[in-house]
Amino acid sequence: MSKKRVVIAGMGFGGLRAAKALAGDEFELIMIDRNNYHLFQPLLYQVATAGLEQEAIAYPLRALVRRWRGASFLLAEITGIDLAGKFVLTDSGTVPYDYLVIAAGSHTNFFGIKSVAEHAFDLKRLDQAEDLRNHILLLFEQASRESDPVRRSALLTFVIVGGGPTGVEFAGALRELIVYVLSQDHPDIAPSETRVLLVEAANSLLSAMPVDLQQYACRKLRIMGVEVLLENRVVGATAESVELYGGTVIASHTLVWSAGVAAADVAGFLSGVEHGAGGRVAVQADLSLKAHPEVFVVGDMAYFLEKGVPLPMMAPVAIQQGNYVARNILAREQGTSTHPFHYFDKGSMATIGRSSAVAVAAGVRFRGYSAWVAWLLLHLYYLIGFRNRLVVMMNWTYAYLFQERQVRLITAKKRRADSL
In angstroms, what CA-CA distances link 116 with 122, 123, 167, 219?
10, 14, 16, 28
In the complex, the smallest distance separating the C-beta of residue 119 from its own copies, rounded to whole angstroms, is 21
Among positions 20, 21, 63, 235, the unique one binding its own copies when judged by CB under 8 A: 63
| Identity of the residue numbered 287 | L
Q: What is the smallest separation between the CB atom of 19 and its own copies, expressed in angstroms?
A: 16
CB half-sphere exposure, 280, CA atoms < 13 A: 26
255-294 positions binding its own copies, by CB under 8 A: none
Structural contact between residues 79 and 265, judged by C-beta atoms closer than 8 angstroms: no
Q: Smallest gap, in angstroms, from Cβ of residue 179 to its own copies? A: 15
- Residue 92 lies near its own copies (rule: CB under 8 A): yes
Residue 179 contacts its own copies per CB under 8 A: no
Question: Using the rule CB under 8 A, is 185 a contact of its own copies?
Answer: yes
Q: Contact region for its own copies (CB under 8 A) — 8-16, 96-104, 338-346, 406-414?
A: 406-414
Question: Could you write out the DSSP letters of every residue in 22-53?
Answer: H-SSSEEEEEEESSSEEE-GGGHHHHHTTSS-
Sign of CA dihedral 280, 169, 391, 360: negative
- 46 is a site residue for its own copies (CB under 8 A): no
By C-beta, is 54 or 288 nearer to its own copies? 54
The reply on whether position 194 binds its own copies by CB under 8 A is no
Minimum CB distance to its own copies, residue 406 (Å): 5
Binding window for its own copies (CB under 8 A); candidates: 58-66, 270-278, 309-317, 334-342: 58-66
Q: Does 189 bind its own copies (CB under 8 A)?
A: no
Angle between helices 165-176 and 211-224 (to 10 degrees): 20
Minimum distance of its own copies from residue 286's CB (angstroms): 33
Instruction: Give the rounded distance of the alpha carbon of 183 from its chain centre.
Output: 28
Which positions from 111 through 150 interact with its own copies, judged by CB under 8 A?
A: 126-127, 130, 137-138, 141, 145
State the nearest-atom distance from the C-beta of 152 to its own copies, in Å. Answer: 14
Please pick, from the candidates 21, 26, 60, 330, the single residue that binds its own copies as defined by CB under 8 A: 60
Torsion from C-alpha of 80, 86, 92, 93, nearest 10 degrees = -120
Amino acid at site 39: L
Instruction: Figure out which of the listed residues 278, 326, 388, 392 binds its own copies, where binding follows CB under 8 A.
Output: 388
Taking CB under 8 A as the binding criterion, the range among 239-247, 264-272, 311-319, 401-409 that sits at the site for its own copies is 401-409
Cβ distance 245 to 178 under 8 Å?
no
CB nearer to its own copies: pick between 201 and 391: 391
Q: How far is CA 129 from each of CA 42, 122, 190, 258, rounded to the nearest angstrom?
A: 12, 8, 25, 13
Which residues does 85 contact at the CB level (< 8 Å), separation at least 6? 96
13 vs 324, which CB is nearer to its own copies? Answer: 13
Any catalytic annotation for residue 333? Answer: no
> Would you call 257 helix, strand, or coil by DSSP?
strand
CA atoms within 13 A on the CB side of 31: 32
75 binds its own copies (CB under 8 A): yes
Q: How many angstroms separate the Cα of 412 from the Cα of each of 56, 118, 132, 138, 372?
A: 19, 20, 11, 10, 33
Of 118, 141, 146, 169, which one is the catalytic site residue? Answer: 169
We find the least distance from the C-beta atom of residue 201 to its own copies, in angstroms, to be 34
**Options 373, 411, 415, 420; binder of its own copies; rule CB under 8 A:** 411
Q: Which residue in the set 230, 391, 393, 419 belongs to the binding site for its own copies (CB under 8 A)?
A: 391
Among residues 335 and 418, whose Cβ is nearest to its own copies? 418
Residue 248 half-sphere exposure toward CB, CA atoms < 13 A: 9
Q: Assess 394 for contact with its own copies (CB under 8 A).
A: yes
Using CA atoms, how far residue 191 sits from 113, 156, 416, in Å, is: 32, 9, 26
Query: Is residue 5 within 8 Å of 98, Cβ to Cβ?
Result: yes
SS3 call for 302: strand
- Indicate which residues carry an active-site annotation: 169
Binding positions for its own copies, rule: CB under 8 A:
34-37, 53-56, 58-60, 62-63, 65-66, 74-75, 92-93, 126-127, 130, 137-138, 141, 145, 184-186, 385, 387-388, 390-391, 394-395, 398, 404, 406-414, 417-418
